[in-house]
Each structure stands twice: as structure tokens, then as C-alpha cells.
A and B are shown apart, each in its own frame.
Chain A
């Protein structure tokens, strides 16, 4: 049960440089919360879930507003780039359709105008829509502190609901997404009770790379949302497909294995049993759709 109340007193800072931001974090990181779009942070403060003594607004930090792409380095998304801006970036729709698809269903238009992809992953909700797509794309989080930068593979990023591997003195600067290899495709599908402005009851992203001649699968990534304490890849299910030609039967086995690997809970949105069923259905559907995108004919 959530109960909104008036917000308690806190210090608000809006530094204009990364250096200042990191200096503040090195001193007061433990009591600070980062504000970008605020679409998760402000409701959490209002509902009394957190009461930071310092709110650090990072929207004026230039490094966090970067948005660019090149073939070699891939896509670099500043942590404070609003989702709606990301969605209008040409490279996204041309090369990262799975990410565009996932980000376009987050919240509502108003939320996407404020909310950021950095916030979506740092909030570390199991249901974060961008996470399964980013996991499939092999994204890395670039994290900075006074002592320097480090890269975290997204596979090692999510620790628990609301918890990431970012330290108290560290800041997510950008997300790096490698350019997807040739002959690859994937998609994200989720189930919500309401069509829009809802939170995923279960979400699945699948991403396939094929060997062009043999049409066998070279690389397979399947990631789930809202069915475990964190967004997660289902390595067992992925392994069943690697090096194989796609058949209806294998897809079915993979879907069942993905459902097996999920660790869903029952809550007011759905039962664990139903969530597991959804993982099966959505895994199957994303695989079929991905094959269709790649022009693979599935053997029946």
C-alpha cells in the first residue's frame, strides 16, 4: 500500500559538469539520489519509500546528454537523454529496432518526454521494459567516479529489485550498445492487462544472429522482464538454439526452457503460474517474429 505525503526537506543541486557531480558524489553519495527525468524518483519520495537528504539533478551534465552512433563504437546514449529524444534518433530506428520497440512502450508520452533510459535501468525494476532489449544487444553501462571510469556488462548490472552494481560514489554516464552484427534481428513483446500506460506482467526480448549460408543460428539471446527479481537472460534456453536450424519443435522446447528458468512471483498483477505461462508464449512469439524478420523459414 502506498500513501502519498508531502515531501520532506532535502538539498537540491544541479551541477553543470561531470567533475563537480563526481566530487559531490564522492562526499555525499550515500545520502544522495540522482535526478534525471524524475519519473521514478519523485513518486518514490512522495510515497515515503526513500527520503534522500540530497537530490542531485544531472540534466545539465554535458556527458550525460550525449547521443551518437558510429559503426565501430556503436550507440552511445547519455544517461539523462529523454526516451522521446532517443526514439527520434535515426540510428535507433534503423539499427536498433528492438530497443526502439521496448522504449516506445515505457509509461506514456508524457513519461517518455521526461523519463530516461538511464533512469529506467538504474531504477532496476524487474519490469523495466528497456532492460531485456539492452541485455539482448550486449549493452554496457559506462560508470564514472572521482577515481575514474569502468564498464559494466549489463549482464552484471542488475543485483536485486531497485539495486544495481553502481557504487554510492559512482554515476551512470552513458550506455554503450554495440552495433548489431549483420544478419541479426530481434524483437520485444510484453503482456499488460491495459494496452498502454501499464507495467509489464511479463516481457520477453529475443535476438538472433544467423550464419547467412547455413541459415543456422550463430548467436542467440533471450532476456526476460518482470518474472524474476531482476531482468535476466535465460542462458539454458539460448544454448538450445545455438548452432541449430530453427524448427517449430526447437522453438517450443526453448520456450518451455525459458519458462522453466524464470523465477516469477505472485502479486496483485498476476500469479506466478500465469507469468510462467506468459514467458512461454512470449518467447515462442518473439522467436517466430525474429525468424520472420530474418527471412528464416521455420521447419514444421
Chain B
């Protein structure tokens, strides 16, 4: 992109040095004088009534400063806890998942806090746990909550016939005439696919430090993807007005959607309020794996009809997501916008359900609901192309949607590079040639992510040395500071080194939506761009009389304000910065910008993977992997390549080895030895192709980039295993044992 000087450049992350040298400050690094240590007492049962809860012994232990239970939570007064989202749910009458918090202790040392937890007496009456979504959905299964009705959480619908249910949410979509569509089809294939609950695998366990000052204001240091949403949620839990709570941003050691959940911060804050002393809480890895929320497992039944020539005539699908013990993090709400949008399907029916079970509640993980749904859709597309004898990419190209098509959600698609991206991959594979060798196979898949957009504000200060400081309220989970700094540098015509970024706390920074849904750079860049234009207008007004040219004829490059007609007429930003403060100045140059209500810029990523399967052990070796993705415009190609490679690595883990192992609802594999994620030795170099079909709504044409590359991985790997072995696996993870079983079964038949 020759038309930009900093945007589009491969620039190392500005936070890299502090992170690799260990000087960056994370939640667990914060230490305050007279600090206490908090520890959670957790339920050993997946489903039980609490008959008695006695904390007297724990309270009287020397060094214990406070013990709190649900009755101490101000936010629970006169309100169902089902309405408090992304919070730890301190158990009230019953526990609904193993490891659910029952009480919390603050003590002068962590050893005393642990000892006190052991002194808390709880009598449980165990109830049979509901562990399977299909079982849980049945009308005869007793509901986990008496006040939960489908789509009506904690407030019964007026319809007198409704009964409480374990189905928290249900959506359905009907377009066209499904029956007629299937009648037109020459081939109809139906299958059921299953995925397992999965952990994000962020390196940094949860931690929080909180203190309450003499006026009752509470300050919290904790890792969160959104300081303002966290402030809101914690304030509700504490029964305080939002501005009585202050969130201070710290570095985040990996989030991927998992760090909107605040398992410690509200408890820590309440302990600080009770004791009047600062409190720190940290989770062990074991606690993270038991109560750091996973992405949901799913059961998907899908039916697609096609003509002999390979045109889709109809599709129906039922997506069921295992919500775990609480209903708050709905995945069905993402189904409408994110399934079947990349293909033209005239007749369609979608049903989606969030179903409660007595397992750890779920949260969002990199493109929530969508890798699961695409495992089914893209496996099914592969099976159809095999049945038709068509090239899988050509089959997809032939059915791909275009600008102006209506998606299942009824939305008119903006321009998205479906065809361009699929064709780019087809070209790549043509050049690569077909895969040679025994027991090897290639799989392709296509992933779609609709994207999200939020409300963001930004301030820029032009400093007296000509540098620019940007103040935002966005915590950086993926290199966002670097990309945003590139935009600021581009707009002011200054080098990267002249831009500094301050991530403010909730008292000083402008409001920001959380860093989720791949919305951060996409939305924030608008606010920042506007703040830059605002400041540039002020600079032009200052420069215009000095240069003797009209303000509208001034542009910015090389740290100068320059007259477009004669580049000899220029003045350094530093001089303008200084003069703004002088007698003839207008005061400090402060630009501000805000954005809300931006339509998303959907993105598509196409995957191709080559694998080799050991036919005697079932072990899969990923030989090579390539992704082509429409990124709109790459602000920092290196950063996007890293995002794609990271997402694919996570997807390979999801496909081949990761997964929670439960025994009666209790997580059994609570270490990174047995919750097995891939290492560098399990993945090849992942090739990336950045396709730049500019969006009409993003600054410079950019699109959402972080989540799309996760979506297609699961099916791509499954399709490659099918090519290599002839075995179709419809349940994840595709472990060596499962693959070998498939190979042996095939040998018999």
C-alpha cells in the first residue's frame, strides 16, 4: 500500500520489550501495603442443596479478617443472581456446578486463608447432576432453576402455560420453503456433529487486587477485556453507583474471550470493603481449569440438499450449546449472524438452543459459537463435494454469496471478499500441486465471522515537542496499541516513536466497549481517526496565519504542517504545539473523537491443511497449513499473520487433542499436562495470505481480523483426516485413539 507511510507496515508490537523482559505489570504483580490474601471455598459437588453453611470456626481463626457468603453480597438483595453476568456466583440455596464458590476468606497470609477455607463447614444434600444437553432438554428432566423459563431468565412469562426449563435460550430462523427446497435436491445428506468444552489456554491465571478508600470508593487492578463493562458489573455486585468503582488497567497475559469473566475481582472488592484493607486474590492453574469458564461443547444436526450440478437448494440445522450451570453467556445469539452466511441457500431453517447442565458455566472464546457450528457446516460441505465428485473449493466458490445477498438473519450483505478469498486459495493450491505420499490427505474449509462493533472514545494531545499522546480506555489483548499507534502516526505524518499511547483507568479514559468480537481496531480506529482530524483542524488553524495559506490547504508529513501548493512553506508540529500555549494560541491542542453504531464488516477465511496419519497409532501429523483471509486492509501485516497463526494453532488443539474430561460433572484434567494444548512441535509453519477487499465501513477499508481465522480450522483438519484415511470423524477431539478406532472399523466393513 504505497499510499500510506506507516499504515500497512510490519511493525513489532510496542509492548513486546516490556513483556519479554518481565517489566510489564500484570494483575498478580500489584502489591499494596497491609495487603490481605483472599481464597475461595468451592463446592465439591456438581449439584447439591446446601443444608448448612457455618463459617464461625473459619472466622475465629487467628489472622482471618473476613469471611463472606452469598448473604453478604449487596447485589443479590431483591434480585435473582441469574441476572448478574460474568460474575462468580456465590452459591445461595444450592450449588449447580463443581467448584462453584460457596464462601470467600480474607486473611493476613495465604496459608491462613487456605486453612480457614478448610474450617468452613458445609453440609450438602447431593442431587443427581444433569450432565448431557440432550437429556437436559427433555421435558421430564427436572429444571435446575425453578425461575428459569426459555428466553425469560428469572422473570416468568405472562403465558400461564409456560413451565421452567433447562433450555435458557432458543432461537429459530425460517426463510423460504424448506420442504420445497429439499424436493428440488438430487442429494440430501444429514449428520450429527459433536464438539467438547474447550479452554482458552491463556498463560496468565486470574488475579485481582482491590482496595476501598475512606470515602467508600473501590479501586481494582485486574485483567479484563473491558474496564468499563467490568466496572459496571462489579458495581452491581457491590451495590454501588458505577463511578464509585474504579478499574485500573493492567497488562493481560492472554484472554481470547475468557477474560470478560471476573471470577475474583468482585469478591476481592467486597473483601476490601469489609476489611478496610487491600486484598489480593489469585487463582491457581487448577482453579482456572475448574472455574475459569470454557467454551461450550455442542451437538449439531445438519441437513443439506444439493442439485446434481452442486447448487444448494435447502439447509436445516439444529445447534445445541452446553451452557453449563448458568444461563448468562448465550451462544445461540451468535448463530443467526454467523451461520450459512457465506453460501447462497434459498430455503433455510435454523434452530439453536443454550441448554443448562451441572457443569462449569461457559463463556466466549474466539468467535463464540462459530467454530462449533462451522465444524458441522464445513464437514458437511466436504461430504457433499465428495458425494458429487466436485472439487471442494469449486463447490464453495459456486455457492458463495455476494454483496447484496440476504443472510439467514435477514441482513443484506455488504461487500465481502468471499470469491476473492476462495479463489486466492484455489490458486495457491494449484501452484502447490496435489499432495503426494501414502496416508496423506488435504482438507479445506471456509469460515465466516460477522463481527461486532462497539462504542469508543479517544483523546489526542499534541505535545510541545511535536509528539502525540493518545488516551484510550481499551485494554490491549492482541496488539491493538501498536496498530492504533500506526494510525495516529499516519494521520499526523510523524514516526511511530513520536506516538505514545496511554490506556487510562475508568476515571480518566473515555468510555470504551470491551475488546471482544474483533471489534477493537475496527471501531476504535474510527474514534481515533476522528480525534486526529479534530486535533489536525486545530493545528491547521494555528499554522494558517503563520504560513499565510488557507487552513484547508495544509497537510501533515515528516513532523510538519505543510502547504499543499508549496512544500517549502512548512512549520514543525513542535513549534505549533508550543505556540498553542502562548499568548496568541488557543490553548492546548486536544482532539477528541467518538464512535457508536457502526455496521460490522464481516470477514471470511479459507483454510487448507495437509496431514499425514499414522495408520497403526492414529496419530496425526500436520504437514502444512495455509489460510487466506479477507482482512480489508492490513494495518500491520505482521500482527495479523500472528493472529492467524495463533488462531490456527488453537484450532488444531481443539480439533486433535484438547478437551475437558469430566467425571460426574467434575473436571478431571486440571493441569496443562492433561489439558493438552499443542506446542510449537505440533504445528507446521502456517502460511498466510492477506486478501485486501476493502470494506466500505472501516477506516482505510479495514475489517475484523482476530476471530475469523479460528472458525474454519476444526473442519479443515477433519476433512484432511478423511482424505488421508477415508475415516470421517464427527466428534471432537479427533484423538489418535478415536482415529485408530475408525481405521479399524473401516477395515472390518
Contact = CB atoms under 8 A, between A and B. Distances in A.
Contact of B666 (A1, A196, A197, A269): A1
Size class of A's contact patch? 20 to 34
B740 A1 contact: no
B668 A1 contact: yes
Contacts of B619: 191, 193
Nearest to B744: A277
Given A6-B114, A268-B661, A195 B679 contact: yes
Contact of B678 (A194, A270, A281): A194
A196 B114 contact: no
A4 B681 CA distance: 28
A193 B657 contact: yes
B671 A2 contact: yes
Contact of B674 (A5, A268, A278): A268
B673 A199 contact: yes
A274 B737 contact: yes
Contacts of B679: 194-197
Interface string A265-297: 000111100100110010000000000000000
A191 B681 CA distance: 15
A274 B681 CA distance: 24
Nearest to A277: B740
A281 B743 CA distance: 15
Given A1-B668, A6-B111, 7 more contacts: A194-B657, A194-B682, A198-B676, A268-B661, A268-B669, A271-B737, A278-B617
A4 B287 CA distance: 9
Interface in A4-37: 4-6
Interface in A220-279: 268-271, 274, 277-278
A200 to B, nearest CB: 12
Interface residues of chain B: helix, strand, loop or mixed (majority): loop
Contacts of A3: 284, 286-287, 670
A42 B512 CA distance: 44
Contacts, number: 59
Interface in A195-216: 195-199
B28 to A, nearest CB: 15
Interface in A92-146: none
Contacts of A197: 679
- Among B110, B670, B737, chain A packs the most CB atoms within 10 A around the CB of B737
Contacts of B657: 193-194
B735 interface: yes
B285 interface: yes
A268 B682 CA distance: 20
B742 interface: no
Interface in B108-151: 110-111, 114
A41 to B, nearest CB: 16
Contacts of B667: 1
Contacts of B646: none
Contacts of B156: none
A268 B675 CA distance: 10
A193 B114 contact: no
Interface string B629-658: 000000000000000000000000000110
Size class of B's contact patch? 20 to 34
Interface of A: 1-6, 191, 193-199, 268-271, 274, 277-278, 281
A-B complex: 9 closest residue pairs judged by Cβ atoms? A195-B681, A4-B284, A281-B616, A274-B737, A196-B681, A268-B661, A3-B286, A195-B682, A193-B657
A165 B681 CA distance: 37
B670 A193 contact: no
B111 A198 contact: no
28 contacts: A1-B286, A1-B666, A1-B667, A1-B668, A1-B670, A2-B286, A2-B670, A2-B671, A3-B284, A3-B670, A4-B284, A5-B114, A191-B617, A191-B736, A193-B619, A193-B676, A194-B657, A194-B676, A194-B682, A195-B681, A196-B679, A196-B681, A199-B673, A268-B668, A269-B674, A270-B737, A274-B737, A278-B617
A4 B673 CA distance: 14
Contacts of B287: 3
Given A4-B285, A268-B674, A193 B736 contact: yes
Nearest to A271: B737
A197 to B, nearest CB: 6
Interface string B451-470: 00000000000000000000
A126 B73 CA distance: 48
A267 B671 CA distance: 15
B115 to A, nearest CB: 10
Nearest to B653: A194
Nearest to A3: B286
